[in-house]
Amino acid sequence: MRINLGNDPLSSKTEVETVISKIRDLIINRQLEPGDKLPSERALSNKFDASRSQLRLAIQKLEFYGLVKRYPKSGTFVSKIGVGALNSMMANILHLQTPDFKSLVETRLILETKAVKLAAMRRTEKQLYQIEKAHEAYIKKSINGQDALDEDLLFHLKVAEASCNSVINSLMLVITPEIITNFVTKKICDAQNFSSLIKEHQDIVNAIKNNDPDEAIKSLKIHFKDLYNYCHTN
């Protein structure tokens, strides 16, 4: 798993991509139909003249995107998705580029806006407590004039958790660190005084506490005003 957001961790990428490309060709040429069993890893690695390791990495990537399904000791099967869609998705996977920061931020805004709304609707008492705890830690660090980036991150993660939507939570987990690392270099958020930032967080907490989805969204949009501007300008 990883949603490969472009940062490919391992392997001579080109080799894996070659293998994926060849598998795609098999599907396009109808030598391999949706639902079919793939040839064994050994057979394929031989046929493609690639090592089994590289072939496994390729299959792992395909499985991550749900295009094939592995059954241990039994075989790997092409998902029952239309040939056109399979082809298109594989093309997409092959072209995956390291994501531009603007896309990242834009997506974060979407997800977190929804997360904060859902959190206001569904949060349990325990989740609310965790959010409040994170918020307090943020305050504590912040009023000492220290950099509270970590506490800020934790706060937002806890909100995502409280959305009670496992997929949103997962996606936030994936894109958040990417954003963090970019944040250090770019510095979008202008230096507000910390007390206003604390208030913005507090408004979000209150809205979630009061089960007020609309207010929660409104508060978040104020908090992310700079980010919105960053996305919508140029």
Partner DNA sequence: ATGTTTAAATTGGTCAACCAAATTGGTTAA
Partner DNA sequence: TTAACCAATTTGGTTGACCAATTTAAACAT
- Residue 11 interacts with DNA (CB under 7 A)? yes
Whether the CB-CB separation of 127 and 161 falls below 8 Å is answered with: yes
CA pair distance 216, 234, nearest whole angstrom: 28
Which C-beta is closer to its own copies: that of 7 or that of 192? Answer: 7
End-to-end, the C-alpha distance of the chain in Å comes to: 34
Choose among its own copies, DNA, none what residue 53 binds, the Cβ cut-off being 5 to 8 Å by kind: DNA
Choose among its own copies, DNA, none what residue 71 binds, the Cβ cut-off being 5 to 8 Å by kind: DNA
CA pair distance 158, 221, nearest whole angstrom: 18
Whether the CB-CB separation of 125 and 214 falls below 8 Å is answered with: no
The binder of DNA chosen from 31, 51, 98, 196 (CB under 7 A):
51
Choose among DNA, its own copies, none what residue 52 binds, the Cβ cut-off being 5 to 8 Å by kind: DNA
Which C-beta is closer to its own copies: that of 49 or that of 160? Answer: 160
| R_g of the chain, CA atoms, integer Å | 22
The binder of DNA chosen from 4, 5, 28, 39 (CB under 7 A):
39
The binder of DNA chosen from 29, 72, 125, 193 (CB under 7 A):
72
What are the Cα distances from residue 123, in Å, to 105, 117, 134, 178? 25, 10, 15, 26
Nearest distance, CB of residue 42 and DNA, angstroms: 6
- Residue 135 interacts with DNA (CB under 7 A)? no
Instruction: Give the residues lining the site for its own copies (CB under 8 A).
Output: 1-10, 60-61, 63-67, 70, 79-85, 88-89, 92-93, 96-97, 99-100, 103-104, 106-107, 110-111, 114, 134, 137, 149-151, 153-154, 157-158, 161, 165-171, 173-178, 180-181, 184
CA pair distance 101, 179, nearest whole angstrom: 7
- Residue 22 interacts with DNA (CB under 7 A)? no
Displacement of CA 203 from its chain's centroid (Å): 26
CA pair distance 159, 131, nearest whole angstrom: 6
220: which 2 tokens? 């978040």
Give the binding site for DNA (CB under 7 A): 9-12, 15, 38-43, 51-54, 56-57, 70-76
